[in-house]
Amino acid sequence: MVSFLSSLNPWNEDQLVQVLTEPRSALGKQYKKLFRMNNVQLHFTEGATRLIARKAMSKNTGARGLRSILESILTEAMFKVPDSKSEGSQSIKAVLVDEEAVGSDCKFTTVRFTDGD
């Protein structure tokens, strides 16, 4: 029996940003589709995606850690969006994840429109 030992090089920031944005099944695209199911647009700023990648690098979690970081940022929004539909005239139309949202306790910014807009 032959044993193999190999080491993996950690992914850099650009590679992790690609995982978030480019493949057909990119995590960012998956979350955008999830929000679209509630007729809400999800937007990430370039700075936010880079900060998310840096957080994954600092935790040494690589691409696997990206999902948990996104979940921690977007979980509250995923619960607020459907609730806003039942609140009446002030439903959420868009969620923006920017650098401030990634680096703070305020996880996201919402854009609300009245039904007449």
Q: Report yes or no on 46 lying in a domain.
A: yes
What total of structural domains would you count in the chain?
1
Query: Is 79 a member of any domain?
Result: yes
Q: Cβ distance 64 to 70 under 8 Å?
A: no
Which residue do the tokens 């995923």 mark?
Answer: 78
Which residue type, as a one-letter code, is found at position 116?
G
Closest CA to 102 of 45, 41, 60, 32: 45
- Give the dihedral sign, CA 27/20/49/58: positive
Give domain status of residue 1, yes or no. no
CATH code (residue 66) = 1.10.8.60
Give this prediction's pTM.
0.79
pLDDT at 33: 95
**110 and 94 Cβ atoms separated by less than 8 Å:** yes
- Express each pLDDT in 79-113 by its tens digit: 888 777 665 557 788 888 988 888 865 556 666 55
Q: Is residue 2 part of a domain?
A: no
4 located within any domain: no
Domain range enclosing 94: 13-18+26-113
